[in-house]
């Protein structure tokens, strides 16, 4: 559930669906961006934008594997894009680092467990 609470204590549900385990990121455009770890056509999660009034737009649906699964918290960088990780999926099944534009174009930056013995790590959580 995504909700807002006013300083006076008024509680309002903005969106009731999805499995939101990561926090929301306030974008420079005044909207909030986040991920759902489940849901979407493949049930592998998705990236979304939600306005302060509660209009939710899906920007990217993960899946099927090896695309990605279980996305985490997003951060917005100075280039205006958002960056995040998936706990599973990616080319090696051990998670990936991705960039997504505010309009929803996703690019994989790095696939974890690309080095011998997974010296570069697995299952990033962030």
Q: What architecture is the 2-118 domain classified under in CATH?
A: 7 Propeller (2.130)
The answer to whether 108 and 100 have CB atoms below 8 angstroms apart is: no
**Side-chain half-sphere exposure of 120, counting CA atoms within 13 A:** 12
Return the domain boundaries, the chain: 2-118
DSSP codes joined into one string, 40-109? STTSS-EEEEE-TT--EEEEEE--STTS-EEE---EE-TTS-EEEEEEEBSTTSB-EEEEE-TT--EEEE
Q: Is the pTM of this model over 0.85?
A: yes
Q: pLDDT (tens digit, 9 = 90+) per residue, 53-112?
A: 999 999 999 988 889 899 999 999 999 999 999 999 999 999 999 999 999 999 999 999
């Amino acid at each position: 559930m995504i909700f807002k609470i006013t300083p006076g204590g008024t509680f309002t549900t903005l969106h009731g669906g999805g499995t939101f385990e990561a926090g929301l990121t306030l974008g420079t455009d005044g909207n909030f961006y986040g991920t759902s770890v489940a849901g979407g056509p493949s049930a592998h999660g998705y990236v979304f934008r939600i306005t302060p009034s509660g209009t939710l737009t899906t920007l990217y649906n993960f899946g099927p594997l090896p695309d990605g699964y279980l996305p985490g918290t997003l951060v917005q960088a100075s280039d205006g894009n958002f960056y995040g990780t998936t706990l599973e999926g990616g080319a090696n099944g051990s998670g990936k680092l991705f960039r997504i534009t505010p309009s929803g174009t996703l690019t994989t930056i790095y696939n974890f467990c690309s080095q011998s013995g997974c010296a570069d790590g697995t299952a990033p959580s962030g």
